[in-house]
Structure 1
C-alpha cells in the first residue's frame, strides 16, 4: 500500500478515534475528566435563541461562532456528527496539502506520520475545540506562500485570523521578503478578507462582535498555563501579566522576524509560534495542534517532541481532575507537568533556532 494512502488512513483513524472517545465521555461511558471536549457542551449555547454577534456575544471569533450556530440548527446529534465530518474533511485537506508541501521541499514522508497523523495531539485534540479549522487555513497559507501565490495565501491567513487569531503572526516573515508594494497589496488583501467575514457583525452590533477581545483581555491565565504557575508562586496580577506578556512577545517577535528575514520563513514562523506559546498567558492543551504542520515539514527531535506531547496530555488530565473531581493535589501535579511541557517547548525552540537555511528567492515570481 502506498505511503500516501496509509497516511490518509492514519488520519481517518485518528480523527475518528478522537470523536469516539469524546462522544463516549459525553454519554457517560468514559469519565468526563478523560474525554472532555469543548465542542459538545457548547451545543446548549449555540442552539440558544439569537444569532451570534448580533443577538448574543460569543467568546470565539466569527468563523467558529457561525459554524457552531449553523450546525446547532439541526439538533444535538447532528451538531456532534457535523463537527466530526467537518474535522475529518479539514484533516484530509490539510494532509493533502502537507503532502504536496513535503514533496515540494523534499521532506521525508515519515515526518508526516510522526508529527501529523500519529501525533498524540491529532489523536486527542482533533475533536476537542475548533483549532483544526485554523490549522487548515494555516497549512493552505503556508503551501500557497511556498508556491509564490501570495494573494491566495494571505486570504487564508486572514481566514485563520478570523478563526483563532494566531495565524496573523505568520504574515510579517513573508512580507519581509517582499517588495514594498507587496506590503500594501497584501495588507489590503488581509484587511479586506477580514472585513468580508467580520464586517456585517461589526456594523450590526459592534459591542457583541468585540466581546471576544475584551473577554480574553480580562481573563486570568488558565490553570494549565505557565503564567498560572508563576501567579501562584509570585502573586502576579492579570494586569501585570497582560503587560509583561505583550511587551516580551512584541520585542522578541520583531527581533526574530528581522534577524531571520533572509532565512526560510517557514522556520521563522515556527519560532514565532513557539515564542507565542511560551509567552502567552492562555495555553490550552489543544494549542499544540498548531505546531503539527511545522514539525511535519521541518522535523524535530523526536524524543523531545513526544516527551512534550505526553507532558501536555498529563497537564490536561490533571487539570480536568482538579476541575471536575475537586482534588487539590491534582493542581500541583498539573503545575509540574506545565513546567515540563514548557521545558520541552524551550528545547524545541532552541533546536529550531539552530537551523540557518537561506531562502532561495526573496521576491516571488508571481503574486496572485
Structure 2
C-alpha cells in the first residue's frame, strides 16, 4: 500500500520535502537517504526533540543572566538594555507571594502592589504561581528569594516547554519532526520565562493532541483547564464548532464543549463564589482578571498603540474597535471553514483564530508569541516561512525592551524612540499577517498545503480526519456538486 493510500505508513522526512531543512542538515551529515533505517534507534524523534527543547530553554535562561545577577534589582534600565526582563521576580513580592498572601482571597497591601488589589491572572495560573512560592525557601534577603522564585518557576516552565514540544511531535503521527519548529524557535527560548504563558500553552497543546487521537472529552477537559490558566484557548472552540458543523460531527463537539465547561467550573467555582449577606456573590479577587482586561487601556505592541501615538488620541473606545475587528476576523474564518473547496485542517483554523486575537488585541506582550508557535508548527510546517515570521518576532522582542530603555532612562541617545518602536510593532504585525496569508492560501488551495502533499487529510483532526462533508457553502458546495455529478456519470458509464 502506498503512502498516499495510507498516510500512516511511514514518517515524512523533512529533509526530503523542505529545502531549508535539507540545507541545515548538512551540519550533521546531510539529508537522510532513502535506505536509512528509521525508527530502529533509541534516539526517537520524541526524545531528540525533548532534549533540543531543554537545550534551547536553557539557552534562554542564560540570556536572562545579566538580570539574574542584578538587572532586576539595581538599575531599572539594565533589564531593558540587556533584553532580559521577566515579570516573575517582580511579582513575587509585588503580588504578595513573599508574605504568604493567598491569591484571590487576600487583598494585596497598596504599598506592595502599587495599585493592584488582587492578583490579575486566571485561577489556574495563580495556583501555578502559588505552588512555586511554596517551593521557594523563606530565608535570606528578598533579592535572593526573588532569584530562587524565578529559578523554581523556570524549572516548572521547562517541564511545560517539553510537554509542548512532545505534544506537537505526537499530534501529526506521520510528521514527528515538526516538533522541532517548537523546540528550535528563537522567540520560544527568548520569551519562555518572561511570564507564565507556557503553562496555558502546554495545556492547549495537550488538548490538540487528545483531539487528534479521537478523544474529544479529554481534549475538552484539557481545553477547559487551559482556559482556566489563560483566556485565549477558549477561542479554539470556534474552529471546532465550524469543522464539526461542516462534517456533521456534533457528538464530538458537544463532548469537547461539555468537558471544557466542566473542567473550567471545577477550577473556578471554589474561588469564584463567596457567601455573604445570606447569598452567593462573585468574589472580588476572582473578577480582577476580567475587570483588568476590560479596563486596560491601549498598551504595548498593538496596532492601536501605533494609531494612538500617531494621532495623539488615548482611544477611549478601543474595546469597541478591537471587538468589531475581531468579530470581522471570526466571520472571515467562518467563511473559510465553510466555503473552502476542501475542509480546512483544525490546526489551520486554530492558528488563524488565535492570530486574529493577537492582531486585534489592545496589548501584545512579547511572550504572546508562545501562543502561536505550536499552532504555526502544525498549520504551516515550512522552515522558510516559519523563520521569516520568527525573525519579525525577535525584532519586536528587542524593540520593546529598547523602547522601554528609551522611555525609562531619560537619555534620548539610549534605546529606541517611539518611531522606531512603531516600526518594530509593524514588523510583528506584518510577520504574523504573512504567515496567516500562507495558511489561508493553503486552505483555499489544498495542493499547496505541506501536510496534505503526501495524501493526508487532517492528521490533527481526530474524528474530522477524512470525514465527508455534511454542510458546505459557496465554492465548497459547487465542488461537492461537481464531484457528485462526476460520480453519477462514472456509475452510468460503468452500467
Q: Shared fold (TM-score greater than 0.5)? A: yes
Q: 1:309 aligns with which of 383, 389, 393?
A: 393
Aligned length: 361
Task: Name the one with the larger helix percent.
Answer: 1
8 Å Cα contact 1:224/1:284 also seen in 2: yes
How far is 1:2 from its partner? 5.4
Q: Which residue of 2 aligns with 1:83?
A: 153
Shift, 1:273, TM fit: 1.4
Partner of 2:106: 55
Q: What does the per-residue CA deviation read over 1:56-99, in whole Å, with 9 as the maximum and x for residues that have no partner?
A: 31111111112212222333254222212211111122222211
Return the alpha-carbon distance in structure 2 between the equivalents of residues 100 and 359 of structure 1. Answer: 14
Higher mean C-alpha displacement, 212-221 vs 78-87: 78-87
Q: Does 1:280 align with 2:361?
A: yes
Structure 1 residue 349 corresponds to structure 2 residue 398 = no
After superposition, give the CA deviation of every residue in 1:225-260 in whole Å (9 maximum; x if it has no partner).
221111112344443210011111023213313531
TM superposition shift of 1:223: 2.7
1:13-32 Cα deviation digits (max 9, x unpaired): 22122223335413226931
- 1:162 paired residue among 209, 215, 228: 228
**What CA deviation, in whole Å up to 9, does each residue of 1:167-225 have, x standing for no partner?**
00011211333344544443332221111111111113622101111111111122322
Larger CA deviation: 187-196 vs 1-10 = 1-10
CA distance in 1, matches of 2:86, 2:68: 9
The answer on 1:290 being equivalent to 2:371 is yes
Q: Pick from 310, 316, 321 the counterpart of residue 239 of structure 1.
A: 316
CA contact (8 A) 2:214 2:462 kept: no
Matched-pair contact (CA < 8 Å) for 1:72–1:78: no
Structure ranking higher on relative contact order (CA contacts 8 Å, 6+ apart): 1
For residue 49 of structure 1, report the CA deviation from its aligned partner.
Answer: 4.2
Q: Name the CA shift for 1:352/1:326 in 2 (closer, same or farther; >3 Å).
A: farther
Q: Which one of 315, 320, 332 corresponds to residue 404 of structure 2?
A: 320
5+ long unaligned stretches in structure 1 = none
**Alignment pair present for 1:10 and 2:94:** no
Choose which of 92, 102, 127 in structure 2 pairs with 1:43: 92
The worse-fitting range, judged by mean Cα deviation, of 228-237 and 115-124 is 228-237
Instruction: Flag the 1:320–1:89 CA change in 2: closer, same or farther, 3 A.
Output: same
Kindly tell me: are residues 198 and 303 of structure 1, through their superposed partners in 2, closer, same or farther at Cα, counting changes over 3 Å? closer
CA contact (8 A) 1:87 1:132 kept: yes
Matched, 1:197 2:267: yes
Q: 1:2 to 1:181 in 2, by over 3 A?
A: closer
CA contact (8 A) 1:270 1:291 kept: yes
Instruction: Give SS of 2:103's match.
Output: coil
**Normalized against structure 2, the TM-score is what?**
0.68
